[in-house]
Structure 1
Amino acid sequence: MVQHTKTGVALVGSGSAHLPIAVTNDDLSQVVETSDEWIATRTGIRQRYIATQQESLVSLATSAGTAALEMSNTQPTDVDLIILATSTPDDLFGSAAQVQANLGASHAVAFDLTAACSGFLFALVTAAQYMRTGVYKTVLVIGADVLSRWTDWSDRRTCVLFGDGAGAVVLKASDRDRLLGFDLRSDGTLNGCLNLPYQADSQALTSDKTVQKGTYQPVTMNGKEVYRFAVKRVPEIIEKALFHAGLSTDGIDWLLLHQANQRILDAVAERLNVPKDRVISNMGRHGNTSAASIPLALDEAVRDGRIKAGDVIASSGFGAGLSWGAAIFEWG
């Protein structure tokens, strides 16, 4: 393996997939007992996008990756590593290699990373470690999920929250490290608060032996517990990441959180004393897209000119596991 001399990390391109089908709150009011006002007041969500029959996790991830490579003027054959953060792969054996093939990134190694709504941030930090050791110099990190597959559309507590999406960033080796600080955490004692569980179904194999051939069940969530967890833990871990970066909240340009619930974003921003106009949110249009939410919101803000080269971003992902993390990085 060739060692490269540049061991800093620069985030140089972003991309996202564009889904054609939006499901509005009014649409959901025809499915469950709810209303646009009820959903928007409690979550900030007005609509969410869902994948069509022709789309897949791989196709969405490929679209996002292609857009990120194009923005960064990177040829697919220059990519050394692809990390696909997803909890909803097309294939339980992994979907990253299919994305690698679709992109034509023939020199890249590719693997899936599963950490649900924390997945993109965990993948970003993982990618940086390969680069800081000098092993890889160009990495594509993709966050993608198709939660519509695993949503109970008769459960109004969860079906109003989730949408499908994909976002990606390109990382390149640099003389100056733009990943300024990070911190990652997990607490498995809270695992039962948010799950997409496997449920076994016993079937006779022989006269005295059985096998467990079940399937995965729709998403379940204890919304109150997840809210309390996020409002407490996310500001703490952002402050720890800022400490590692040698910064305070006054030194950041943007707060970019996993898009779980607008009330969580507002509460975290208030605790950190970050003005609302420095909080990036696309919650109203996309809902909770799990691992896709951070890179999707990032890409929109880069493309519409809000985020500019040199801007410092404090980002945090949080969710199933329960897991949470924060990263402070400079864009461009």
Structure 2
Amino acid sequence: MEGLQLISTGGALPSRVVTNEDLSKLVDTSDEWITTRTGIRQRRFCGEGQTTATLAIEAAKQALERSGLQAEQIGCCVCATLSGAYATPSTACLVQHELGLAEDIPVLDVNAACSGFIYGAAVARGLLAARPQDSRRFALVIGCEQLSRLMDMTDRNTCVLFGDGAGAAIFALAEDSDFAVDLGARGDMAIETPPNGPIHMDGRAVFRFAVDALPRTLHAVLEATHHTLDEVDWVVCHQANSRIIDNCVKKMQADPEKFYKNMDRHGNTSAASIPVALNELAEDGRLQPGMRIACIGFGGGLTWGGMLLTVKGSVV
């Protein structure tokens, strides 16, 4: 079966750091209240001149440079985002223009909220597989968000959760039995974001959904590839809340060291959270050739998605 292999990563984080103490000056909250309930200590907000697109372009350029590929070798570009500045041109089209990607390839945005990067990778796999066998076999997939522009900064239940950022990955389409993807959706207004915000969320309903979706989706991709969790090197989940991941680890009696966490530094960056985490692992030297990675997303829609794949070569 043709599957995706991870070739390289890139990332971009805004310049402005917003701590829990900063938010406690705006709403009735505290560092202790936020940290104990979410694991979040700070997040990044876009500064002047920074947008979903500028972050996406920066992350994509880094991933392309690290891949050793030329722009004309990319066979498709998919951006996962719910916060692009325009309905059209898409954020992906803006990336295509800035990176000089070929004009005869599919370029598009997808919106599956916090599962968006997994959905984007699945779309990219299908687009690459539809091309001639001797054609471009590499995909650029980006998760990018500027959620700060969609938030009600007087709503303490949501403004403490979200941040901005972007992560990118270059994938290769290859014969690989160690690849599986699992996607699903359940139409539900538990997380609601109008076109110009603000974000509304039923926290309890989302928590109940997430602690069910995460282990179920992880089991699905493990079963599809005939692997056990012991044979996976990293589990990279959507970074919504540390308690969600801890609940899954406990339920599965898993090794917590395999479950990467960075929400303490970035908060919930929706579609960007998984690729930002992958990029951090790569930059820290903790992604090595041949490693198996399970990526699990869950969130607005409600949607969920899981992917198991291998690392090919050095990713930085």
Matched residue, 1:111: 108
Moved more, 276-285 or 133-142: 133-142
Structure 1 residues 219, 139: CA separation in 2 closer, same or farther (over 3 Å shift)? same
2:124 paired with 1:127: yes
CA contact (8 A) 1:10 1:178 kept: no
Secondary structure of residue in 1 paired with 2:84 = coil
1:248 CA drift (Å): 1.5
> One-letter code of the match for 1:54?
G
1:8 CA drift (Å): 4.3
> One-letter code of the match for 1:296?
V
Matched residue, 2:213: 233
Please point out which of 53, 65, 74 is paired with 1:70: 65
* Deviations 1:46-82 (CA, angstroms, capped at 9, x unpaired): 1000111211111100001011111111112221210
Structure 1 residues 179, 104: CA separation in 2 closer, same or farther (over 3 Å shift)? farther
Secondary structure of residue in 1 paired with 2:280 = helix
Moved more, 98-107 or 119-128: 98-107
> One-letter code of the match for 2:265?
R
Secondary structure of residue in 2 paired with 1:105 = coil
Moved more, 268-277 or 112-121: 268-277
CA contact (8 A) 2:148 2:163 kept: yes
Please point out which of 270, 273, 282 is paired with 1:293: 273
Moved more, 152-161 or 88-97: 88-97
Matched residue, 2:246: 266
Moved more, 160-169 or 179-188: 179-188
Matched residue, 1:43: 38
CA contact (8 A) 1:8 1:132 kept: no
Secondary structure of residue in 1 paired with 2:140 = strand
Matched residue, 1:3: none
CA contact (8 A) 2:76 2:127 kept: no
Moved more, 130-139 or 86-95: 130-139
1:267 CA drift (Å): 0.9
Matched residue, 1:309: 289
2:56 paired with 1:56: no
CA contact (8 A) 2:4 2:309 kept: no
Matched residue, 2:194: 197
CA contact (8 A) 1:7 1:131 kept: no
Secondary structure of residue in 2 paired with 1:80 = strand
**If the length of structure 2 is used for normalisation, what is the TM-score?**
0.93
Any stretches of 5+ residues in structure 1 without a counterpart?
Answer: 1-5, 199-215
The separation in 2 between residues aligned to 1:182 and 1:269, in whole angstroms, is 21
The separation in 2 between residues aligned to 1:64 and 1:273, in whole angstroms, is 35
Aligned residues, how many? 307
The separation in 1 between residues aligned to 2:6 and 2:294, in whole angstroms, is 14
1:274 CA drift (Å): 2.1
Matched residue, 2:183: 184
CA contact (8 A) 2:149 2:197 kept: no
Matched residue, 2:308: 328
RMSD, aligned CA = 1.5
The separation in 2 between residues aligned to 1:237 and 1:173, in whole angstroms, is 22
Tell me the percent identity: 40
**If the length of structure 1 is used for normalisation, what is the TM-score?**
0.89
The separation in 1 between residues aligned to 2:108 and 2:285, in whole angstroms, is 32
4+ residue runs over 6 A deviation: none
Any stretches of 5+ residues in structure 2 without a counterpart?
Answer: none
The separation in 2 between residues aligned to 1:252 and 1:170, in whole angstroms, is 21
2:228 paired with 1:248: yes
1:132 CA drift (Å): 3.3
The separation in 1 between residues aligned to 2:178 and 2:148, in whole angstroms, is 33
Matched residue, 1:157: 157
Larger Rg: 1
> One-letter code of the match for 1:103?
L
> One-letter code of the match for 1:115?
A
CA contact (8 A) 1:179 1:327 kept: no
> One-letter code of the match for 1:114?
N
The separation in 2 between residues aligned to 1:152 and 1:125, in whole angstroms, is 32
Matched residue, 2:97: 101
